[in-house]
Homo-oligomer: A and B are copies of this chain.
């Protein structure tokens, strides 16, 4: 039986997109996650009109709407 968090298990060391509750979209390489869906990204960028490189970042799970591995 598959579980939703298997999406993250299969995406470690791969690029993902994270949409946050306040509307930011952040891309980066998934390094680690936990059961709260807290995620650690490397080489992260906040996308948008003013793209911002933020490098390593910890995003709090309960402020995340969705996470999508890059194709």
Interface residues of A (CB under 8 A from B): 1-8, 17, 19-24, 26, 31-34, 37-40, 44, 54-71
Copy number of this protein in the oligomer? 7
Complex formed: what's the CA distance from A67 to B63 in Å?
A: 12
Is the beta-carbon distance between A38 and B4 smaller than 8 angstroms?
yes
Is the beta-carbon distance between B55 and A69 smaller than 8 angstroms?
yes
Q: Which residues of B contact A44 (CB under 8 A)?
A: 68
Is the beta-carbon distance between A57 and B63 smaller than 8 angstroms?
no
Which residue of the partner chain B has the closest CB to A55?
A: B71
Complex formed: what's the CA distance from A3 to B7 in Å?
A: 17
Is the beta-carbon distance between A7 and B57 smaller than 8 angstroms?
yes
Enumerate 9 A-B pairs (CB-CB under 8 Å) in ascending A order: A7-B58, A20-B65, A22-B23, A26-B66, A37-B38, A57-B66, A60-B64, A60-B65, A62-B62
